[in-house]
Structures are given as C-alpha cells and as structure tokens.
Amino acid sequence: PSALRLVSLSLTMLQTATLKFLKDLSKNNNKPWFDAHRKQYEDAKKDFETFIQAVIDRFAQKDETIREQEAKKCLFRINRDVRFSKDKSPYKTNMGASINRGGRKSIYAGYYFHLEPGKSFVGGGIWMPMPAEMKKVRQEIDYCYDEFKKIVQSKKFTTVYGDLYKEEGIGLSRVPQGFDKDNPAADYLKLKSWIAMQSVKDAELTAKDLVKKTLIAFETLLPMIRFINRSIED
C-alpha cells in the first residue's frame, strides 16, 4: 500500500482547469466575476492544495522539520491587501504556498511554490527576516563562508538555481556595518533576503513529474535552508 501511495503521489500534477481559472481571473479581476466563478476557484484551490500536500508528504522524508505541516495552512489567501496599493484589484492572480518549520509565518527559512501562468517558480530561502535574524544569518555566512560558498556554488545548486536572487532592491549597496568592505563574502553579506528560484513552465505544471521536479528543487535547497536555520537557532 505504501509503495502504491508513493507512486500516486509522484503522479500528482496540476489540472489545466486550475491554470485556466487563474488566466481568466487576470482578465476579470473583480468581485462580481469572482462570485460567479466561486466553484471554479474552490476547485482550483483544492487542486493546488492536493499538489502541495503530495510535496509535503514526500519531502518530509528528507526534511523532518516540515513533517507536521498541512498544505491548507501553507497556502496564501487569494484576496489582496489593497489598503496601501494604487492597484485596487481585489484578487491575486496567483496561488502560493510557503512550507516552513513552525508554519507559514515562522521566522525560519523554508520552501515556496508560486503558481501563476507564465510566471510560476519553485524555490525558497528566507525573505526579509527581522533585524535580529538578519544579523545572525550574516554572522554565520561570515564565520562559515567556505561552507556557505560550497553550498550555493555547488554544481547541483547552480544547475537548478543559477545563483541566489540578487535583483535590485534585495540588497544593500555597501557591506553592512561591522564587516570589512573587502570581506570575501561581501556579495552575500549585502543581501537582505537569501532566496533561490527556478522558473516552472506552464507545460511542466500539468506534467506527471511536477512533484518530482519540485522535490529536486527543494532537496537542492535543503543544505542552505539548514545553514540559515542553524544560524537563527544559535
């Protein structure tokens, strides 16, 4: 029975109807349309939740810290917070799931899956931690740079992710206070988030090996997740 369950999990994929709903929502981002298509939304949400649960069930064998997580508690709400936004569209045109030890809002690094037609990606890390945690991560990178460098510059990591996300706005222009400007880890110390992302094509979302692809991405990220969370624990 367990072998059959693993096989069924490996064949968990997303339905084309789920992608269609998100595409249609992006063209009809208003409450009347959403209310009229609530059944399609509920089906899409359940489809995404089933996929995320399959990933959790499998990956918990590698990372026991997520064993207690439930997919439904990892998913983000579809409603947008428009209070401080010029864009008053009421709904997100994506579905996201954050799989972290301690839950979606924990202080620890974890894994993320972003479902959005044409813009989907898988990855994770830690996004904009609070100053206390940020300081700890930077100190750990400084103290153990050889180890960190070996993780994020390994052939496996660079094959899957290329490098850590370093787009404008995610880092400081200078090495943070307390570190030498010539520090060999300078590029990583300047970051305010330590995340990696791999894009997922629409055709891959509905392919039978989607869970497998996601597991490979998460497994590749696992050494960095452990490195970051070790620093936060200390």
**pTM of whole model > 0.85?**
yes
Q: How far apart are CA 212 and CA 59, in angstroms?
A: 10
- Which 8-state DSSP code applies to residue 114? E
Do 135 and 191 form a contact (C-beta atoms < 8 A)? Answer: no
How many residues would you count in the chain? 234
pLDDT tens, residue by residue, 39-70: 999 999 999 999 999 999 999 999 999 999 99
pLDDT tens, residue by residue, 167-205: 877 889 899 999 999 999 999 999 999 999 999 999 999
Q: How far apart are CA 91 and CA 29, in angstroms?
A: 6
Fold exhibited by the domain 2-233: BirA Bifunctional Protein; domain 2 (3.30.930)
3-class secondary structure, 110: strand
Q: Domain locations in the chain?
A: 2-233
pLDDT band for position 11 (cuts 50, 70, 90): low
Instruction: Tell me what pLDDT residue 45 has.
Output: 97
pLDDT tens, residue by residue, 78-105: 999 888 888 889 999 999 999 999 888 8
Q: How far apart are CA 205 and CA 200, in angstroms?
A: 7
The conformational region for residue 169 under phi > 0 = left, psi -120 to 50 = alpha, else beta, is left
